[in-house]
Structure 1
Amino acid sequence: MLKTALILSLGIVLSACAHESSSPTPAAPPTTAPDQWVGRWIGVEGLNLTLSKDAAAGPGHYLLKMQYGLDAEQSGTYKGQATADGIAFNRQDGSQLLRAGDGQATGLKWLADKHNCLIVKPGEGYCRD
């Protein structure tokens, strides 16, 4: 009787282990997407973004040269780092995240029909034709 219980217990444990190992492992987010974003992006009313790799800092690091507002002080070059959701960076108005989207996601009617865009926040986006 004890032997039967032990065998059943072992079977249950092995079954649970087999179940865990057969469950799919979530895929890691693509890390190359930001590399595809390198280049110039155009916003509205003269706003723009030029994204380049930061070779000195290594893979996954970027430089964001941007004019993000109409005032002269709303521009600069910022260091960014790739994350699972986009490129994280800091500027005078705080921590930001650059992520892919479409013109509708920018919240700007002038970009609404675009399909290849990068968005910082509603009202701030940059697109390519």
Structure 2
Amino acid sequence: MLKTILTLSALLLISGCTDDSHTQETQTPAVTEPSQSDYQTTDQWVGKWIGVEGLVLDISENQAVGPGHYLLEMRYGLDADQSGTFEGQATEQGISFSREGDTYLLRAGNGEDTGMKWLAEKQDCLIVQSGEGYCRD
């Protein structure tokens, strides 16, 4: 019995040591262009959105790149360096963009979704993350 257990253990160890990496292909994810259904919604977001305490988001179409691509001009914090223009792309969920090395998703919601009491009564808002949202009246 002990001999059988040792043999099975050895077989398990040997089978776990094989290198199967040659059978797996490495694929880089394809960069997908936004579909028309993605940007039909996000095209309606073009324009100015207001946050609290002087925060603002101005969305424009990035015509140089094509449909479903946007320029997000943002003042997203109170510090002087917390503003800039970022390139965004329409997705099924909203507009994806990178800022300061992190990727964010700008999505639709209401004032309550922003997590800010000053915007709680608003109905037409865009949210970057909890505590960062912009609304239209």
The alignment-based identity, stated in percent, is: 63
User: Cα distance, 1:93 vs. partner?
Assistant: 5.4
Q: Which residue of 1 aligns with 2:6?
A: none
TM-score (norm 2): 0.72
Q: Quick one: distance in 2 between partners of 1:93 and 1:45?
A: 25
Q: Which residue of 2 aligns with 1:89?
A: 97
What residue ranges of structure 2 are gaps of 5+ in the alignment?
Answer: 1-35
Question: Pick from 116, 126, 135: which aligns with 1:108?
Answer: 116
User: Cα distance, 1:31 vs. partner?
Assistant: 3.1
Residue 134 of structure 2 aligns to a residue in which SS? strand
Contact kept? 2:107, 2:126, Cα under 8 Å: yes
What residue ranges of structure 1 are gaps of 5+ in the alignment?
Answer: 1-27
For 1:42-84, what per-residue CA distance to the aligned partner results, in whole angstroms no more than 9, with x for missing partners?
0000000000000000000000000000001110000000000
Question: Pick from 55, 80, 93: which aligns with 1:72?
Answer: 80
TM-score (norm 1): 0.76
Q: CA RMSD in A?
A: 1.3
Residue 31 of structure 1 aligns to a residue in which SS? helix
Question: Pick from 89, 106, 131: which aligns with 1:123?
Answer: 131
For 1:6-65, what per-residue CA distance to the aligned partner results, in whole angstroms no more than 9, with x for missing partners?
xxxxxxxxxxxxxxxxxxxxxx95531110000000000000000000000000000000
Q: Which amino acid aligns with 1:79?
A: E
Q: Which residue of 2 aligns with 1:8?
A: none
